[in-house]
A and B are shown apart, each in its own frame.
Chain A
Amino acid sequence: MAEVEETIKRIQAHKGVIGIIVVNNEGIPIRTTLDNATTVQYSGLVHQLTAKAKSVVRDIDPQNDLTFLRLRSVKHEIMVAPDKDYFLIVVQESE
């Protein structure tokens, strides 16, 4: 439990990181450092996008799988790492 905390804190400490969300495979947020409304919005939207991206990768090559997704916009960068049961979403400010 403590290592999880520590890891999350470490990621949070990077320059420009706005927030971290851990989501289960149905899109329900489990752990977050942002406020509720934003968390819920991010988790719902990103979850759908990740599922789509994963299906793209697997359609092209069924033995491949999605490991990391980076979405960069003018203001922010959203990074998602999907796994079997959970997702981890990190939002960072763009330069």
Chain B
Amino acid sequence: MSVKRLRRDFGAPVQFSDRSVTDAKDGYVECVSFEDKTFDLRKIEIDTGVQAVPDLSEAGTQTEWKHPRNANTQYYPREFEEQQKEEIQKETQFKTFVTNVTPRFELALQQNEIMDVFYDDWMNLAGQDGSFGGKADSHLKEYQSFTDLQFSKDKTITCIDWHPTVKGIVAVSVAEKLSFDSRVDQSAKIVMKPSLLLIWSFTDPIHPQLLLEAPDDIYCFKFSPTDPNIVAGGCLNGQLVLWDISQYEERLKNPKAGAKKKNPGQAVFEDEAPETPIMRYCAVSGIENSHKSAITDLLWIPDHMELNRMGIPQENRTLQSVQIMTCATDNCILVWDTRPPKGTQHEEKGTMKNPMGVPTTFKYLDLNWKPHLKVQLHKSEPGGDHSPTKFSIQEKQGDRNVLSTLGDASTHKDPAASSGGGGGGFNFAKPGSGREKRTLSNVKTVMFAGGEDGEILYVDWMPQKDQDSNKLMTPKPEFYSTLHDGPVNTAQRSPFFKDIILFVGGWTFSIWKEGVNTGPILMSSASPKRLTCGQWSPSRPGVFYISLEDGSIDVWDVLDRTHEPSINQSVSSASITCIFPYQVTGKQHLLAVGDSTGTLHILEIPWSLRTPTNSELTGVTSYFDREVKRRSFVKARWDFREQEKRQLEADAKMKAGIAPNVTLSEEEVLMKMKQEYLQYVEEESAFLRHLGLKDDIDEPLPEV
């Protein structure tokens, strides 16, 4: 920009002023923008690429690896020296402290002494009197009843057992109700009719699920507790029978599936009974080796032990019940083993014929089964031996305490022995093979038995060397007592107490405690009807059921009253032969009752009879303890009375002048003789006077 001025104004201050554009012409110069060609680039398409790339950066850290090292510290507490302690205690501060603090303690201690602050009243309020609610609540309700018109009519039920695992299956053994003589008379007819064991399911009360056939009437039987497909039964002729029902296991588990086979399209004119399969026994003991009379009681030995030939209880490695103990009225108790004896061959299995489709589980036992231990019950006095009708051992199935006290952890190890198929270990676990079995020294080998004459025995089953004959025989029973007035038909241990046993026989029942031999803890008075069977309740420690000959059941509660039953209920019109209470589920306890007309009644046990009251166990325990004390007191009293009586007798004799035991000294003898002589002289003179032979001695008259 250039500015023109007059020369004389150069350097002089300039003054500018604003002038609007429109004031003068050409007052402004426009500079318009235009496109310069040199910079013209027409962009048609641009190809660009874009890539997203993460920033890669490398970084590193180093951790210090600390390896573990063992380190420990040892410390000891700071303590004061005796002297220091003494000094501290002398200070007044200490004394004030103690005085201040003591009242708080006194308060607390007194509180503790007065009452227990944490006692839960609410919990302990309930159940104090469990017998509220009228009689109707404690009534045994009839749940179901089973009769088979074909097989169990006119027969009597001899034994009942519940299936250990499947709920709702109960088995019943039936027998002819004839006396020995009539049996002999009708023997031809009886042989034609099969002797049966019926298995019922709750779903079908008319047709039994399965029938098991036996060579003769069964008087007692039991399912094996470890393998419920094996059933052992004892016959009238003394044989022991085994069945294997694994074939029908499915049928028993789902009973409805097989029962109804009706075709929907076909009209049903008559009731076609679905076929009830009959199964034959698969093994029976040899006749020469069995009992000589009817087997009256049978028991599977609990699975944690087994007995060897010497009667010594040994640990059972396979934890399966393999041995059976039976007793019969031929004065002995036998122990049988179901495993194959050493040295039998199994190769013949394939070639052996199998008529009647019987499972060959126990083929090695059939017809030559022998017991391996025999316990003879001799009586101490002459006059026959004891004939047991029921027995009871202390070990309980499922109670493995004895094993744990052995202290060995290898009892769980059992690899191939029990993993077999249907028979479960019976086929290849030979008795006495393999490792040494340990002896269970904690098992008591004594057992209780009830006899046919109403006696109760306590005998050791281990045979010992007899001093006289130097043979191994069973020792005489440690103790026995003839208490009942009829054959003992029940000997059962309480499920809660290992040493309390209930015996039922004749018209009375008694409760004994093991170890107290002076008498029963409780003995009932004679009831008006014969008692046929008794069982402890499985859930209440002080309750047991007794069945009577007139078809009724008595429920006795030891804590309620002991002179009469708490409840008496009539169940059937015929005499009851067998009862068995069982806990089917937690909420349902059923009592199976069999009578002499072949009907099996199932009754439901009401809540009041199946739930124990609070502290019922302690109550019953203390009751039994009291009774034991009473027993010992009674015995002591009897002894005392005896002594007293003897004393009195001796005194009486002394007074009468006879001195039996006392030896008199010479003087006394002379005195006595003199007295006797004087007495005699007097008598003589009296006698002569009486005869008139003696003149009265005239007494001199007094001087007048």
* Measured CA separation A8–B80 after assembly (Å): 20
| Cα of A28 to Cα of B81 in the assembled complex, Å | 11
> Does B626 reach chain A (CB closer than 8 Å)?
no
Measured between beta carbons, the chain B residues less than 8 angstroms from A40 are: 77, 79
Q: Does B561 interact with chain A (Cβ within 8 Å)?
A: no
**A44: nearest chain-B partner, CB-CB:** B77
Q: Does B90 reach chain A (CB closer than 8 Å)?
A: yes
* B261 CB contacts on chain A under 8 angstroms: none
Q: Is there contact, CB below 8 Å, between A70 and B108?
A: yes
Neighbour of A14 across the interface among B100, B109, B118, CB < 8 A: B109
Q: Which residue of A lies closest to B111 (CB)?
A: A70
Contact indicator per residue, chain B 110-146, by CB within 8 Å of chain A (1) or not (0): 0011001010000000000000000000000000000
* Docked complex Cα distance between A15 and B109 (Å): 8
Asked if A30 and B80 make an inter-chain contact with CB atoms under 8 angstroms apart, the answer reads yes
Q: Is the interface of A mostly helix, strand, loop or mixed?
A: mixed
Q: Are A30 and B109 in contact (CB under 8 A)?
A: no
Pair B112/A1 contact, Cβ less than 8 Å: no
Nearest opposing residue in chain B for A11, CB measure: B105
Mask of A11-28 contacts with B, CB within 8 angstroms, 1/0: 100111100001010111
A residues 15-60 with Cβ under 8 Å of B? 15-17, 22, 24, 26-31, 40, 43-44
Closest to B84 in A: A30
B470 at interface, CB cutoff 8 A: no
Residue contact A4 to B98, C-beta cutoff 8 Å = yes
Determine whether B678 belongs to the interface, using a CB cutoff of 8 Å to chain A. no
Q: By the criterion CB–CB under 8 Å, are A83 and B78 in contact?
A: no
Question: DSSP class of B's interface residues: helix, strand, loop or mixed?
Answer: helix
How many Å from the CB of B73 to the closest CB on chain A?
A: 15
| Pairwise interchain contact A4-B95, C-beta atoms closer than 8 A | yes
Give complex CA distance A86, B88 in Å.
11
Note all chain A residues with C-beta closer than 8 A to B46.
none
Residues B112 and A92 in contact, CB atoms below 8 Å apart: yes
The answer to the question of B479 belonging to the interface, with a C-beta cut-off of 8 Å to chain A, is no
Q: In the complex, what residues of B have CB within 8 A of residue A61's CB? A: none
Report the separation of the CA atoms of residues A40 and B77 in the bound assembly, to the nearest whole angstrom. 7
Q: A4-B94, A28-B78, A28-B79 are in contact. Are A17 and B101 (CB under 8 A)?
A: no
In whole angstroms, what is the CA distance A86 to B99 when docked? 12
What residues of chain A lie closer than 8 Å to B101, measured between beta carbons?
81, 83, 88
Interface string of A77-95 (1 = CB under 8 A from B): 1010101111010101001
**B99 partner residues in chain A, CB cutoff 8 A:** 3, 7
**Size of B's binding interface in residues, CB under 8 A:** 26
Evaluate contact between A1 and B77: CB separation under 8 angstroms: no
Q: How far is the CB of B529 from chain A (nearest CB, A)?
A: 50
Nearest-Cβ distance from residue A52 to partner chain B, whole angstroms: 19
Chain A proximity of B259: nearest CB distance (Å)? 56
* A17–B112 alpha-carbon span in the complex (Å): 11
Tell yes or no: B38 within 8 A of A by CB.
no
- From B90, B94, B104, A86 is in contact (CB under 8 Å) with B94
| B108 (CB) vs chain A CBs: closest residue | A79
The answer for the CA separation of A77 and B116 in the assembled complex, in Å, is 12
Say whether B105 contacts A26, CB under 8 Å.
Answer: no
- In the complex, A15→B77 CA distance in Å? 31
Number of A-B contacts (CB under 8 A): 76
Most buried by A among B79, B93, B105: B105
Give the one of A11, A15, A43, A77 with max B CB within 10 A. Answer: A11
Task: With A26-B78, A83-B100, A85-B97 as known contacts, state yes or no: A92 contacts B109, CB within 8 Å.
Answer: yes
Residues of the B chain whose Cβ atoms lie less than 8 Å from the Cβ of A95: 116
Cβ contact of B105, chosen from A4, A84, A88, cutoff 8 A: A88
A24 partner residues in chain B, CB cutoff 8 A: 88
B102 to A11, Cβ gap below 8 A?
yes
Are A30 and B88 closer than 8 Å at their CB atoms?
yes
CB closest residue in chain B, given A32: B85
Q: Which residue of B lies closest to A17 (CB)?
A: B109
Interface residue? B276 (CB, 8 A): no
Q: What is the minimal beta-carbon distance from B519 to any residue of chain A, in angstroms?
A: 38
Name which residue of chain B comes closest to A20, CB basis. B105
Q: Which residues from chain B contact A63 at a C-beta distance below 8 Å?
A: none
Listed residue (A7, A10, A17, A84) with the most chain B CB atoms within 10 angstroms of its CB:
A7
Q: Please state if B79 and A86 are interface contacts (CB–CB under 8 Å).
A: no
User: Cβ of A67 < 8 Å from any Cβ of B?
Assistant: yes
Closest A residue by C-beta to B93: A85
B89 at the interface (CB under 8 A from A): yes
How far apart sit A61 and B234, CA to CA, in the bound complex (Å)?
82
A14 to B112, CA, bound (A): 10
Closest-by-CB residue of B relative to A83 is: B97
Bound form: Cα–Cα A1–B87 in Å:
11
Q: How near does chain A come to B522, taking the closest CB pair, in angstroms?
A: 33
Given known contacts A14-B113, A26-B78, is B89 in contact with A90 (CB within 8 Å)?
no
Min C-beta distance of A37 to chain B, whole Å? 10
B199 to chain A minimum Cβ distance, whole angstroms, is 50
Known A-B contacts A26-B78, A44-B77; the reply to A86 vs B97 at CB < 8 A is: yes
CA distance A11 to B205 in the complex (A): 73
Q: Least Cβ distance of A23 to chain B in Å? A: 11
With A16-B112, A28-B80, A95-B116 as given contacts, are A67 and B90 in contact (CB-CB < 8 Å)?
Answer: no
Asked if B108 and A72 sit within 8 Å, CB to CB, the answer is no
- Contact of A31 with B85 in the complex, beta carbons under 8 Å: yes
Cα distance A16–B90 when bound, in Å?
29
Chain B's closest residue to A40 (CB) is B77
Interface residues of B in 392-427 (CB under 8 A from A): none
Across the two chains, which residue of chain B brings its CB closest to A37?
B77
Contact A79 B105 (CB under 8 A): yes
Cα A7 to Cα B106 in complex, Å, equals 10
Given A29-B79, A90-B105, A92-B109, also A1-B100 (CB < 8 A): no
Q: Evaluate contact between B89 and A30: CB separation under 8 angstroms.
A: yes
CB distance from A90 to the nearest CB of B (A): 6
In the bound complex, do residue A1 and residue B90 qualify as a contact, i.e. CB atoms below 8 Å apart? Answer: yes
Query: Is the Cβ of A3 less than 8 Å from the Cβ of B95?
Result: yes
User: What residue in chain A is nearest B115 (Cβ atoms)?
Assistant: A95
A1 and B118: CB pair below 8 A?
no
CB neighbours of A79 from chain B (8 A)? 105, 108-109
CB distance from B103 to the nearest CB of A (A): 10
- Which residues of chain A have C-beta atoms less than 8 A from B109's C-beta? 11, 14, 17, 79, 90, 92
**Chain B residue at minimal CB-CB distance from A29:** B79
**Bound state CA distance, A36 and B687, in angstroms?**
101
In the complex the two chains form, what is the Cα distance from A7 to B104 in whole Å?
13
Given contacts A7-B102, A79-B105, 19 further A-B contacts (CB under 8 A): A1-B89, A3-B98, A3-B99, A8-B98, A15-B113, A16-B112, A22-B98, A26-B78, A29-B79, A30-B80, A30-B89, A31-B85, A40-B79, A43-B77, A72-B118, A79-B109, A83-B97, A88-B97, A88-B98
- What would 11 A/B residue contacts be, using CB atoms closer than 8 Å? A1-B89, A3-B98, A4-B98, A8-B98, A30-B88, A40-B79, A43-B77, A72-B118, A88-B97, A88-B101, A90-B109
Interface residues of A (CB under 8 A from B): 1, 3-4, 7-8, 10-11, 14-17, 22, 24, 26-31, 40, 43-44, 67-68, 70, 72, 77, 79, 81, 83-86, 88, 90, 92, 95
List 7 A-B pairs, minimum CB-CB distance, nearest first.
A81-B101, A40-B77, A14-B109, A68-B104, A86-B97, A83-B97, A88-B101
